[in-house]
Chains A and B, each alone.
Chain A
């Protein structure tokens, strides 16, 4: 019944020698999380908490100081065509045309293919991202959005098992970003691609992700909690804000970024944290009632994603959720009861 995770991150840590002195600077440590097949996971955290480092480790471009990443059954060792990366700065080869950029990866994936077949395959992916007619253009002749599209096509064209994206749309204007998000969403729905993505944009995470990993500020960053997306699976960018769960989810993420990520920084509360299974939070709409510390039991929604079948498929639809609640559907695992007026979250006592 339990689906095996595709990626398991176990006890990951990254340390750099300090610029002065003999000590080591811990960027993050004790990171545990997993990504199921077909799942879309976003990671959010402030600048410098080590998100790019995590992604580079997943890509095999960087090595962790401690811990392992297991993909499928094997410990990860070096880059692979099975894990395609979409870089923040598109990283297209400027001397190659859009099409040739894509062919580079395709030819590497299928060494036995004829040039014509490689070309045809590359064209198919160019049209997937709606770039027909731009085949012969060099990256310098494309707009920022078009370049990022070529980057996406290059990654998808090698048909990877996992797509890794490092703030892929952050350099784009809002309109372009929106249309690219829609495109990723539709590609994703069509292909069931497993995706791991870094973002700074809460709305982007809410639109795209099934699961949002929240990191505390560095140094010594850690995973504070994992938030499940409680919006319906067929959400649309233009419609999703009407859903009753939209604001609870959004406020929870925002509050984390604005205050809690800072309060938990530098390993505060770390001694109480259960690293191996970080708290899983499902912010949903519900009446905000002031709960006493012990009365009204909190609805424990889930202990761990691992104990459930594919969360994306089994995520309860919105009406079911409301019906089931006693008005206090909020939730969490682990210690402390919900704080007053903060029914959705509070997963651990704050550090002091």
Chain B
């Protein structure tokens, strides 16, 4: 029953994709010569004006180019011509670094806030004020103080991933069921055992939810950050190809960004399933 449902959904998905690709192809394909022109002049104008062909590449162009990229994703011909794989690797490395640092700060601090009503109240105004700030607003300050564009990008990733994890950890820890804490107390587990054997597993699903939100935000922000700082990364690649007027490459980059984002999210979802428990 559920299987056939799944099959139907897959068929509909593929049908939608095919329809979309067809519509795309039709929309960008030329409608023949629009007017007769001097061939020399027509050459200057390019196909867009002369044959009614759109400057927008069709799915076939994109597919061909994508194939080219996938065949050699890691070539490096100087600062402005690197394989798309290298660019993605740069972005991923920045995200994982900033995100990892954010975990190191947010989870222990969230624990502290969740366990101590005093700290919770004391830190609350700061968190409330800092949380809504767009991570990119930190960029000039980061560039000025850190004086390194790469580290600044990592800092921006750090600052944007910290909040969901911090708040979720604090919430998860503060709402651990009283009964479990009482069990830990009557079993004389002590502070550390209680923290690692009871509170951490109890709050883990909530913490993981925060981490999943954070990785999503971090992946959103890295593209914008790299457009600003330049040099390397998939965000820089997008901007660079825009300057080259290579819409095909821009579309390919968009596709890859989506794909990587999806994979990151799926990884977190799997982790989330691993720590979740039926109550």
A312-330 near B? 1/0 per residue, CB < 8 Å: 0000000000000000000
> Is the beta-carbon distance between B278 and A80 smaller than 8 angstroms?
no
Q: Which residues on A sit within 8 Å (CB–CB) of B278?
A: 94, 138, 140
- A87 and B182: CB pair below 8 A? yes
- Contacting pair A108 B189 (CB below 8 A): yes
- Kindly identify which residue among B185, B186, B202 contacts A93, using a CB–CB cutoff of 8 Å: B202
Using an 8 Å CB-CB cutoff, how does the interface string of A81-112 with B read, 1 for contact, 0 for none? 10111010101011110000000110011000
CA of A84 to CA of B188 in the docked complex: distance in angstroms?
10
Residue pair A91, B179 in contact (C-beta under 8 Å): yes
Instruction: Look across to chain A and name the residue whose beta carbon is closest to the beta carbon of B204.
Output: A95
Query: Pick the contact of B179 from A59, A78, A79, A87 — CB < 8 Å?
Result: A87
Q: Which residues of B contact A80 (CB under 8 A)?
A: 186, 188
Is there an interface contact between B277 and A108, defined as CB atoms closer than 8 Å? no
A81 closest partner in B (C-beta): B188
Knowing A95-B277, A140-B278 touch, does A104 contact B197 (C-beta < 8 A)? yes
Residue-wise, chain A 140-162 has the 8 Å CB interface mask toward B (1 for contact) of: 10000000000000000010000
How many Å lie between the Cα of A81 and that of B184 in the bound state?
10
Bound-state Cα–Cα, A194 to B220, Å: 61
Within 8 A of A (CB), among B170-202: 177, 179-180, 182-183, 185-190, 193, 197-198, 201-202
- Write out the residue numbers on chain A whose beta carbons fall within 8 Å of the beta carbon of B188: 79-81, 108-109
Is A108 a contact of B193 with CB atoms below 8 Å?
yes
Q: Is A81 in contact with B277, judged by CB distance below 8 angstroms?
A: no
B279 within 8 A of A: yes
Report the bound CA distance from A78 to B189 in whole Å: 13
Asked if A258 is at the interface of the complex by the 8 Å CB criterion, the answer is: no
**B198 CB contacts on chain A under 8 angstroms:** 93
Q: Distance (Å) between the CB of A54 and the closest chain B CB?
A: 15
A60 on the B face (CB < 8 A): yes
Contacts of A96 in B (CB 8 A): 201
Set of chain B residues within 8 Å of A109, measured between Cβ atoms: 187-188
A61 to B179 Cα, complex, angstroms:
11
Given contacts A94-B277, A104-B187, contact A85 B201 (CB under 8 A): no
Q: Are B182 and A61 in contact (CB under 8 A)?
A: yes
A95/B201 contact (C-beta < 8 A), A89-B179, A138-B277, A140-B278 known: yes
| Bound CA–CA A138/B278 (angstroms) | 8
CB contact under 8 A between A105 and B187, given known A138-B277, A140-B278: yes
Q: Determine the interface band of chain A, counting residues with CB < 8 A from chain B.
A: 20 to 34
In the assembly, what is the distance between CA of A104 and CA of B196, in Å? 12
Cβ-defined contact, A93 with B201, below 8 A:
yes
CA distance A94 to B204 in the complex (A): 12
Residue of A nearest to B198 (CB): A93
Min CB gap B207→A, angstroms: 13
Give, as a whole number of angstroms, the nearest-CB distance from B195 to chain A.
Answer: 14
Minimum Cβ distance to chain B for residue A87 (Å): 6
Min CB gap A12→B, angstroms: 19
- For residue A92, which residue of chain B has the nearest CB? B183
Knowing A93-B180, A93-B202, A95-B202, the reply to whether A60 touches B277 (Cβ < 8 A) is no
CB <8 Å contact, B277 and A140: yes
Q: With A and B bound together, what is the CA distance between A81 and B185 in angstroms? A: 9
Contacts of A158 in B (CB 8 A): 187
Taking a contact as CB atoms under 8 Å apart, the answer to whether A85 and B180 are in contact is no
Which residue in chain A gives the minimum CB-CB distance to B182?
A61
Residue in B182, B186, B202 whose CB lies within 8 Å of A81: B186
A109 to B186, CA, bound (A): 11
Query: B180 → chain A, closest Cβ, in Å?
Result: 6
Bound: A154/B183 CA distance, A: 10
Within 8 A of A (CB), among B190-234: 190, 193, 197-198, 201-202, 204
- Given the known interface contacts A87-B179, A104-B197, the answer about A94 and B186 at a Cβ–Cβ threshold of 8 Å is no
Contact check, A61 vs B186: say whether CB atoms are below 8 A apart: yes
Within 45-59 of A, Cβ neighbours of B (below 8 Å) are at 59
Q: Choose among A61, A95, A104 the residue that contacts B185 (Cβ–Cβ < 8 A).
A: A61
A104 to B183, CA, bound (A): 10
A91-B183, A108-B190 known; 13 other A-B pairs, CB under 8 Å?
A59-B182, A85-B183, A87-B183, A91-B177, A93-B198, A93-B201, A94-B277, A104-B197, A108-B187, A109-B187, A109-B188, A138-B277, A140-B278
Show 19 residue pairs from A and B whose CB-CB distance is below 8 angstroms, ordered by the A residue.
A59-B182, A61-B182, A61-B185, A61-B186, A80-B188, A85-B182, A85-B186, A87-B179, A87-B183, A91-B179, A91-B180, A95-B204, A96-B201, A104-B189, A104-B197, A105-B187, A138-B277, A138-B278, A158-B187
